[in-house]
Structure 1
Amino acid sequence: MDKQFNKKKYTGSVLCFGELLFRISLDAGGNWLKNNAVPFFMGGAELNVATALSLWDVPSQYFTALPDNHMSAQITVHLKSKDIDPSKIYHHGDRVGLYILTKGADLKNDSLIYDRAHSAFAELKPGMIDWDKVLDGVSWFHFSAICPAINQHVADVCKEALIAASAKGITISIDLNYRSKLWQYGKTPVQVIPELVQYCDLVMGNIWAAEIMLGIPVEEGLHAVGQKAKYLDAALQTSKHITEKHPKCKAVANTFRFDNNEGITYYTSLYTGGEYHSTIDHAALKIINKVGSGDCFMAGLIYGFYNSHEPAEILEFATLAAFDKLFIDADATSKTVEEIKTTTITK
């Protein structure tokens, strides 16, 4: 494993590639029906990462597909207002995807309803995009496992992008976020994701996502034991497995978030340069919003590696950013680097 991954110098932008989505946030009591109004947010995993990075003074570009209409023009203006470069967005198709989520619920439960079929992004196909042009001036390419979960064509587009980025020597990261409701086109994640991870320098996820997407088994009964030391050891073994199976991978990060009647506990780990780091527990009795915490962690990792910070410092900042995001109602963080560094670990 390359011990100097965190010392690589970056001068270009971080390009985040993924589907822009609208989130409709319903209240659990159904008052939205009485009030005839619902909170409405613009996000998407990769846009959440780009938003955080731009806020933290990392040059950020966002690449997605949108219809060529007035609404998309307004979205472009909004992205520019956040110092995110939207100039490479591909315009075609007829609609923007959306999803409906009950406030406070998790993206993995039954409170989630997707409405993103036949969106502009879902209609992408190989050969449409001039990747040489899109990747011009880019030092880092980020995407998530949500993209290849949409359909085979988008999975093929992802591979097309990774081949082009690798040829240019661009650093590549992936978030192994698993959305079971999206894998509906006849392929399982383990049939698709390993082929994409082989191009990645940084892999982020958790041990259960690695089991589903990369076929790395989690010890039976591990969750029943519920011991932090056991979880961290499992993450270390998973991390070693990933880097041995995929030699291009130089860093693997894992998150652990546990919800129970006593609140929420959150901690993370990072394996890079042959060294393993983990954080103390971060705890809260009550949170506001689970959406985007993982995206904020991913952004924190990219921020740290982009700025050549030490691995322990990278992990600590990314963890604080992700934990703090649990108390922000929007999809992306609104906190500066300085504000995040003063976050308390118990709320």
Structure 2
Amino acid sequence: MSKIVTLGEIMLRLSTENNNRFIQSNSFRADYGGGEANVAVSLANFGIESEYVTKLPKNPLSDSIFRYLKSNNVNTENIVLGGERLGTYYLEVGTSIRASSVVYDRKYSSFSTLNYSELQIENILKNCKILHLSGITPAVSNSCQELMNKIMIKAKEMGVLISFDFNYRGKLWTLEEAAPILSSYLKYIDICFAGILDAKNILKLGNHSDLIEYYKQISKQYPNIKYLLSTKRETHTVNENSLTGFIFKNGELINSTKYTFSIIDRVGGGDAFAAGALFGIYKNLSPKEIVDFATAASVYKHTVRGDANLVSKEEIYNIINNGISTVSR
């Protein structure tokens, strides 16, 4: 059976409790998270064979990460051990009009030292249908930028579909630094998660009012891209949002149902959308079915504390088929 492989950095996440600010906090809730790890966990919970690749230090925190991933049925056999430290990020959980805020502590992390020669790439990509990567990885270090280039080239040689989420992080690098590097990946990508801001600020495609105009331009320049996907978020308050998903396939833009919902934890919502889309593509669903599943998965994640979407495909289909209900009996 073919698998989906994700590669990226997993970190220790320390979140303020009871919506406290950092300055008020004497304790933090600990979780593990990172965009590509979150996607792997979601896919495994949807019943897809998934493998996660990263580099971790040799210490008890890494033992805990292995336990976390394995408990969610994620294959960890090609994780590299070495380096000095596990990256960390701190999350100040917002509420009402106060947005959440992130502080990164990931410089010189073990993952930032990962290089291509440490990975058994052909073994990792054997029987792999989709390789999922993101724009966070090249922001971490120069060696990670080189790793991204080499692994994309090898994946193309081996006939693996490449999924890429732009995931621009302004606290890791500037638009001027990111734009040429992220743009250079597009010639390799089959599945692209990019929104209006990515098209405008990173790809420099001008100013359009409609998402479809950007997607038409991208498809014309990069006909290798088979799927373009994104979400539109409407923020009513920090705790209440609306979300609509979009997929562009064969020149047609298709949208999902629009959901309005209360938020328990917003972090990881985009990763849940990506995982839902990859599930649909893996299963050869129609574009409408793909975007409906992906959007419902993202909405569900907003109700789950922690980075990952700990939910089954049956629960996602229940939302799609029956709407949001109060009690499951």
Deviation at 1:125, TM superposition (A): 3.1
Matched, 1:298 2:274: yes
CA contact (8 A) 2:113 2:141 kept: no
Which amino acid is the alignment partner of residue 281 of structure 1? K
- Mapped to 1, the partners of 2:272 and 2:14 lie a distance apart of 20
**In terms of mean alpha carbon deviation, does 291-300 or 198-207 score higher?**
198-207
Matched, 1:76 2:66: yes
Deviation at 1:77, TM superposition (A): 2.9
- Mapped to 2, the partners of 1:172 and 1:341 lie a distance apart of 26
Query: Of 199, 202, 210, which residue of structure 2 is paired with 1:213?
Result: 202
Specify the alignment match of 1:156 in structure 2: 146
Query: Of 73, 83, 103, which residue of structure 2 is paired with 1:113?
Result: 103
Q: How many pairs were matched up?
A: 318
Specify the alignment match of 2:302 in structure 1: 326
Specify the alignment match of 1:229 in structure 2: none
Specify the alignment match of 1:251 in structure 2: 227
Deviation at 1:276, TM superposition (A): 2.0
Matched, 1:309 2:285: yes
Query: Of 263, 275, 285, which residue of structure 1 is paired with 2:252?
Result: 275
CA contact (8 A) 1:207 1:218 kept: no
Matched, 1:97 2:82: no
Instruction: Kindly provide the CA deviation profile for residues 36-93 of structure 1, in whole angstroms up to 9, marking residues without a partner as x.
Output: 4211110100011000000001000000011133432332233122110000011110
Mapping for residues 60-71 of structure 1, pairs under 5 Å: 60-71=50-61
- Mapped to 2, the partners of 1:104 and 1:345 lie a distance apart of 24
Query: Of 164, 172, 183, which residue of structure 2 is paired with 1:194?
Result: 183
Which amino acid is the alignment partner of residue 147 of structure 1? T
Query: Of 127, 131, 135, which residue of structure 1 is paired with 2:121?
Result: 131
Matched, 1:29 2:5: no
Deviation at 1:159, TM superposition (A): 0.9
Distance 1:118 1:269, change over 3 A: same
Specify the alignment match of 2:161 in structure 1: 171
Deviation at 1:98, TM superposition (A): 0.9
Q: Per chain length, whose mean CA-contact separation is higher, i.e. which structure has more relative contact order (CA < 8 Å, sep 6+)?
A: 1
Distance 1:151 1:217, change over 3 A: farther
Overall identity of the aligned pairs, in %:
29
Deviation at 1:334, TM superposition (A): 1.5
CA contact (8 A) 2:39 2:308 kept: yes
Q: TM-score, normalised by structure 2?
A: 0.90
Deviation at 1:30, TM superposition (A): 4.3
Which amino acid is the alignment partner of residue 242 of structure 2? T
Deviation at 1:280, TM superposition (A): 2.9
CA contact (8 A) 2:3 2:128 kept: yes
Distance 1:116 1:281, change over 3 A: same
Which amino acid is the alignment partner of residue 171 of structure 1? L
- Mapped to 2, the partners of 1:83 and 1:64 lie a distance apart of 16
- Mapped to 2, the partners of 1:140 and 1:51 lie a distance apart of 15
- Mapped to 1, the partners of 2:305 and 2:287 lie a distance apart of 29
Specify the alignment match of 2:46 in structure 1: 56
Specify the alignment match of 1:231 in structure 2: none
Q: TM-score, normalised by structure 1?
A: 0.86
Runs of 5+ consecutive residues of structure 1 not aligned to the other structure: 1-10, 223-233
CA contact (8 A) 2:80 2:118 kept: no
